[in-house]
Amino acid sequence: MIQFSSVYKSYIRGEYALEDVSFKINKGEFFFITGHSGAGKTTLLKLITKEIKPTKGAILIEGKNISVLSDSKIYKFRREIGIVFQDFRLLEERTVFENVAISLKIRGLPIRKIKKEVLEALRWVGIHQKIWNKTKTLSGGEQQRVAIARAIVSNPKIILADEPTGNLDEEISYEIMEMFKRLNSRGATIVIATHDKLILERYGKKNNILVLQKGKIKQLIKRDESLFA
């Protein structure tokens, strides 16, 4: 599903944010990326979405080298990926409905179809009752639910989450993680970047974990191995 082959990424000449990174994420997998701040987690996710390009190496999604995708094909490629950000990136002056509907409107879907899909996504994350509220009036946990609804409304094959529990308390964090588990059980490939040890201890035991350190792979932990042994 997702494969990195000897990938390097440099923002400053001679310095690498990622260096010689190779790994594979299988279809339907629940995969964690961890490491301290600055280890390269966000850079790695941005490479998967082709927000940035690798300096060297190949990135394959479903067997296709996205590094050489033409601009005309990037938009279609990104439809298959849902993204959840740590800081939510919601339009605070817009309603919950408007935030979740953005990608569907860009695709030109009819309004009746948009309303149906948005309501279904909001019901799935449990915040449909606030569909007409402005997002700035919501709590952090509610805003993250809206962000997840926005990510899944187009039914993507891959869902990326960058520190999705970073701004939430422990109870809400576990609620959000349970949503990702449910999405995974529906067939989505889930990739979560986090440095939260509590999350990794609870959810990482039965999933693969990639540990980054200063842009390099420190360790790739397979299922049922312990991160903290």
Domain count, the chain: 1
Q: What's the pLDDT score for residue 227?
A: 58
The answer to whether residue 229 is domain-embedded is: no
Dist. CA 186–CA 86, nearest whole Å: 23
The answer to whether residue 21 is domain-embedded is: yes
Task: For residues 45-67, give the mean pLDDT.
Answer: 93
Provide the domain limits for residue 156: 2-221
Q: What angle, rounded to 10 degrees, do the helices at 111-125 and 96-106 form?
A: 130
- Please give the model's pTM, rounded to 2 decimal places: 0.92
User: Residues of the chain with pLDDT > 70: what percent?
Assistant: 97
In sequence order, which ranges of the chain are alpha helices (DSSP H)? Answer: 41-48, 71-78, 96-106, 111-125, 140-152, 170-185, 197-203
Task: For residues 47-52, give the mean pLDDT.
Answer: 94
Q: What are phi and psi of 163, to 5 degrees?
A: 50, 55
Q: CA separation (Å) from 39 to 31, 43, 52, 71, 208?
A: 17, 9, 17, 29, 18
Task: For residues 54-64, give the mean pLDDT.
Answer: 94
The answer to whether residue 216 is domain-embedded is: yes
The answer to whether residue 211 is domain-embedded is: yes
Q: What's the pLDDT score for residue 200?
A: 93
pLDDT tens digit string along 142-171? 999 999 999 999 999 999 999 999 888 999
The answer to whether residue 227 is domain-embedded is: no
Polymer length of the chain:
229
User: Is residue 228 predicted with pLDDT exceeding 60?
Assistant: no
Two tokens at 45? 């996710």
User: Residues of the chain with pLDDT > 90: what percent?
Assistant: 79
Dist. CA 82–CA 158, nearest whole Å: 6
Task: For residues 62-71, give the mean pLDDT.
Answer: 86
The answer to whether residue 52 is domain-embedded is: yes
User: Is residue 193 predicted with pLDDT exceeding 60?
Assistant: yes
The answer to whether residue 226 is domain-embedded is: no
Q: What's the pLDDT score for residue 226?
A: 61
Q: What are phi and psi of 113, to 5 degrees?
A: -65, -40
Q: What are phi and psi of 111, to 5 degrees?
A: -60, -35
- Write the CATH number for 155: 3.40.50.300
User: Is residue 206 predicted with pLDDT exceeding 90?
Assistant: no
The answer to whether residue 204 is domain-embedded is: yes
Task: For residues 94-103, give the mean pLDDT.
Answer: 96
